[in-house]
Chain A
Amino acid sequence: MSSAAALPAPRARGAAAPALSPWGLAAPLGLAYAAFFAAPLFMLFAVSFYADEQMTRFGLDQWRRFLFDSFHWKVIADTLLLGLKAVAATVLLGFPLALVYRAASPRWQRVLLFVVIMPLLTSVVVRTFAWIVILGREGVVNQLVLGLGLAAEPLRLLQTELGLVISLTQIEMPLLLLPLLSVMSRIDPNLMDASASLGASPWRTLFRVILPLAAPGLAAGCLLVFASATTAFISQSVIGGGRLVYLPSMIWQQAMIAAHWPFAATAAIALLVSVSAVIAVIAYAGRVAGGRVHG
C-alpha cells in the first residue's frame, strides 16, 4: 500500500476523465492485502491469546509456556544462528563471485548471470532433494571423499547443520547476488583506477572503495538471505531432518500434528518478531552505509 501511495500522483488529462486518486488506484491491492495478509495476521495474534488447546477462553498461558521454557529460546537462537550462518556462507562465496562478475566481459557476464539465476528456475523441493543426492551417505560428495581416500568412512552431512548450511548457501545465493550485482555494476570503474593510481593496493581498494560502495546492495542481499534461510521450512525439515529443530518445523508440528493452534500461533509470532528484529538491524546497517555514500 505504502509503495503504491509513494508513486507520483497521476494527473487527470481532461475534465471528463474521472479523477482517480492514488489511493483509489491502490485500493484493489490494498484490499487484497487487508483481506489476505492483515486479517490472517490479526487472527494469528488473536489465536495466540487463547489459553487452551480447544480455544475456549482467553489467557496468556501459551505465551507463558513459550517464553518461560529455555528450550524454546534455544530453538529461536538456533533458527537465527542458522540464518546468520547462511548469510555468512553466501557472502563469503557470493562477494568474490560479484567481483569476478564486475571484471568479466559482457558475454561472460551473461553466462554468469544465468548460472546465478538458475537455482531460482527450479522448484525448492527439487533443489532440496538434489542436495540429498549430493550429500547423502552414498552421495556424490562421499563417493568423492572415499574414492580419494580422504576419509575412512562416509561423512555425515545429511541431518547435520553443516549439510543444511551448504544446501541453503546454494539455494539462497541468487537472493544475495541479484541486489549485490546491480549495485556493484553501478560503481564507476574509474574509482578503482583512481585508487590504484593513488598508491592503494588491490586489497585496500577492495576494503576502502568497493566494499563501502557495495554495502547497500550487500545489506539488501543479506536481508533476503536471512529472511529466506530462517523460514526455509522445506530445506530445514528435509535436509536437517527431525533431529534439528527450528522454529518453522516446530510451528508445523504444533499446528498439524499436535493440533495445538494457540501454541503454534505463539511460536509463529515469535519467529516473526525475532526474524524482523535481526532484519531491522541489517537494514539499519545498510542504510547507515548507504547514507554515507549517497548523503
Chain B
Amino acid sequence: MAWWLRKAGIEGETRVQFRPVPPAMTEAASLRGHTLDVLGLGVRYGAFTALDNVGLSVRAGEVLALLGPSGCGKTTLLRTVAGFVRQTAGRVLIDGAGIDDLPPNRRRVGIVFQNYALFPHMTVAENVAYGLKARREAAPRIAARVAELLEMVQLGALRDRRPAQLSGGQQQRVALARALAIEPSILLLDEPFAALDRSLRLDMQIEIKRLQRQLGLTAILVTHDQDEAMSVADRIAVMRRGRIEQLGAPVEVYDQPATLFVAGFIGTTNRLPCTVDGMARLRLADGTPLPVPAGALPPGPALLTVRPEQLELRDEAGPGCFPVELGLALPLGGQTVREARLADGTPIRLTEPRLGAIRDLGARAFCGLAPGARPALFPRPTPEEE
C-alpha cells in the first residue's frame, strides 16, 4: 500500500474513508474465477482502427483495469468481449475456449453499464430476476436467488421500488446484483463509478472490490480515472489509440512507465528536457549532470520524467542539483505541493515534507533527485510523435 499512500499525499485527496479489504477475504479468492484471453484482437470501422492487435490475459479472480483517454479503444475492447462488437481480427477465449461465434446472450458475461441500464419498467427485484427468468429457472429458485443477491448488495428493503426511485449508488448496486445473478464467468464494468459523486464513488469501489474478492470474480474495469484503476485493479492495461501501451501492476505502471504517454497519463509527472552525451551521461538543459543511468538510450535529446515526490529542495548547491525559482505552495496535510521553475522556465512540481518553515514564494533554492529515486528516461519525441 506504500505507493498508494504516497500518491494520496501528492494528490491531496480525501482518502480517510478508505478501509482496506481484510486479508482473510483476499485469500479465499481466485479459486472459482475464470480466465479471459484476448489474442491479437482488431476492430476496424472503415478506415478507423478502434483496436489494433490487442492481446492480454486476465487471470482467474483478477481485476484488470483498462485505462486510457476517451477514444483509446477501451470501451470497444469491452464491447467486443461482451459480443456487441464483432472483431475484424483475433480471438477472445474464456477458460481457453473461443467465444467468438457466440451471440452476446450465450456468453455469460455480466456487464455493469456506466448509466446502469436498469429496466425502467421493472422493479428492483424484477431487474435482478431478469437473467434468471431468461434462463427459465424455476420460480422458487429465482425468488431465493433474488433475495440472496439483494441481501448481498443490501437492497432487500427496496425490492419493490422502480429504478427511478433509487439514488445513483442504489441503482448501481441493482445493476451489480442483476449482472451477478447469472453467475457470469467474467464481469465487465464499463466506467461504473463515473456517474457517482466523489464520496459515494469510493464507497462503491470498496463495495465492488469486496464482492469481487468474496466471489472470486474475474473482472475487467473500463475507466479513464487513474485513481479508480489504481485503487480497484490488480493490474492495469494503459491503452492509447487502440493499443495497449503497458500492462502491469499499479505500482509497476506508476514506478516504471513503459512509455512517455504512460508516464504522463498515470499520476503527476515532471518532464525535464535533457541530453545524453557521448559517454552515456545525462545532463539537464543547463548542463547540470544528473546521477541517472542513461541505460540503452543513444546519445541525443532525451526527456526525464520525474514524479513530484522524487524531487527534493535544498538550500545549498550540490552535485546533481539545479537552481529553481519557487512558486506557489499548496499545503495538503502532511505534505506541501510546491510549484517551481527551472532556470529556462520549465515548470515543475514537487512535494516537500512539512517539517520546517515553508519557503517563500519567489525564493531561490536548489532542487535535486531524492535519494533512491529512479525516474524514467525516454528519448525526446519529435513534435509529430506527440
**Given A188-B115, A190-B117, A191-B117: A197 and B110 within 8 A (CB)?**
yes
Closest to A289 in B: B121
Residue A179 is within 8 A (CB to CB) of chain B in the complex: no
B130 and A195 contacting across the interface, CB-CB below 8 Å: yes
The distance in angstroms between the C-alpha atoms of A35 and B106, with both chains bound, is: 64
B121 and A197 contacting across the interface, CB-CB below 8 Å: no
**Given A191-B119, A196-B103: A204 and B134 within 8 A (CB)?**
yes
Q: Among A194, A202, A204, A213, which residue has its beta carbon within 8 angstroms of that of B117?
A: A194
Residue A243 is within 8 A (CB to CB) of chain B in the complex: no
Please name the 6 residue pairs, one residue from A and one from B, whose CB atoms are nearest each other, closest first.
A198-B131, A190-B117, A196-B104, A200-B134, A194-B117, A199-B134
The distance in angstroms between the C-alpha atoms of A212 and B162, with both chains bound, is: 15
Q: Among B117, B120, B135, B164, which residue has its beta carbon within 8 angstroms of that of A199?
A: B135
Closest to A292 in B: B121
A190 and B120 contacting across the interface, CB-CB below 8 Å: no
Q: How far is the CB of A159 from chain B (nearest CB, A)?
A: 44
Mostly helix, strand, loop or mixed at chain A's interface?
Answer: helix
Interface size of B by CB at 8 A reads: 29
Q: What are the residues of chain A within 8 A of B181 when measuring CB–CB? A: 198
Q: Among B83, B103, B130, B164, which residue has its beta carbon within 8 angstroms of that of A198?
A: B130
Q: What are the residues of chain B within 8 A of A196 when measuring CB–CB? A: 83-84, 103-105
The distance in angstroms between the C-alpha atoms of A196 and B182, with both chains bound, is: 12
Which residues in window 109-125 of B have CB below 8 A to A? 109-111, 113, 115, 117-121
Residue B178 is within 8 A (CB to CB) of chain A in the complex: yes
Residue B176 is within 8 A (CB to CB) of chain A in the complex: no
Q: Give the B-binding residues of A (Cβ under 8 A).
A: 188, 190-191, 193-202, 204, 208-209, 212-213, 292-295
A294 and B164 contacting across the interface, CB-CB below 8 Å: yes
A209 and B162 contacting across the interface, CB-CB below 8 Å: no
Q: What are the residues of chain A within 8 A of B110 when measuring CB–CB? A: 197-198
Residue B108 is within 8 A (CB to CB) of chain A in the complex: yes
**Given A188-B115, A190-B113, A204-B134: A197 and B105 within 8 A (CB)?**
yes
A194 and B111 contacting across the interface, CB-CB below 8 Å: yes
Closest to B190 in A: A190
The distance in angstroms between the C-alpha atoms of A202 and B134, with both chains bound, is: 11
Closest to A204 in B: B134
Q: How far is the CB of A292 from chain B (nearest CB, A)?
A: 5
Q: What are the residues of chain A within 8 A of B60 when measuring CB–CB? A: none
A193 and B84 contacting across the interface, CB-CB below 8 Å: yes
Q: What are the residues of chain B within 8 A of A195 when measuring CB–CB? A: 119, 130, 134
The distance in angstroms between the C-alpha atoms of A208 and B84, with both chains bound, is: 19
Closest to B131 in A: A198
What are 29 contact pairs spanning A and B, CB under 8 A? A190-B113, A190-B115, A191-B117, A193-B84, A194-B118, A194-B178, A195-B130, A195-B134, A196-B83, A196-B104, A196-B105, A197-B104, A197-B105, A197-B179, A198-B105, A198-B131, A198-B134, A198-B178, A199-B105, A199-B108, A199-B134, A200-B130, A200-B134, A201-B134, A209-B119, A212-B121, A213-B120, A294-B120, A295-B164
Q: What are the residues of chain B within 8 A of A188 when measuring CB–CB? A: 115, 117
Residue B82 is within 8 A (CB to CB) of chain A in the complex: yes
Q: Give the A-binding residues of B (Cβ under 8 A).
A: 82-84, 103-111, 113, 115, 117-121, 130-131, 134-135, 162, 164, 178-179, 181-182
**Given A198-B130, A199-B105: A193 and B119 within 8 A (CB)?**
no
A201 and B105 contacting across the interface, CB-CB below 8 Å: yes
A293 and B182 contacting across the interface, CB-CB below 8 Å: no
Q: What are the residues of chain A within 8 A of B182 when measuring CB–CB? A: 198-199
A295 and B105 contacting across the interface, CB-CB below 8 Å: no
Q: How far is the CB of B161 from chain A (nearest CB, A)?
A: 11
A193 and B111 contacting across the interface, CB-CB below 8 Å: yes
Q: What are the residues of chain A within 8 A of B107 when measuring CB–CB? A: 197
Closest to B178 in A: A198
Closest to B109 in A: A197
A193 and B121 contacting across the interface, CB-CB below 8 Å: no
The distance in angstroms between the C-alpha atoms of A190 and B84, with both chains bound, is: 10
Q: How far is the CB of B152 from chain A (nearest CB, A)?
A: 17
Q: What are the residues of chain B within 8 A of A209 when measuring CB–CB? A: 119
The distance in angstroms between the C-alpha atoms of A200 and B110, with both chains bound, is: 12
Q: How far is the CB of A173 from chain B (nearest CB, A)?
A: 26
Q: What are the residues of chain A within 8 A of B179 when measuring CB–CB? A: 197-198
Q: What are the residues of chain B within 8 A of A197 when measuring CB–CB? A: 82-83, 104-105, 107, 109-111, 179
Q: How far is the CB of B112 from chain A (nearest CB, A)?
A: 9
Q: What are the residues of chain A within 8 A of B108 when measuring CB–CB? A: 199
Q: What are the residues of chain A within 8 A of B131 when measuring CB–CB? A: 198-200
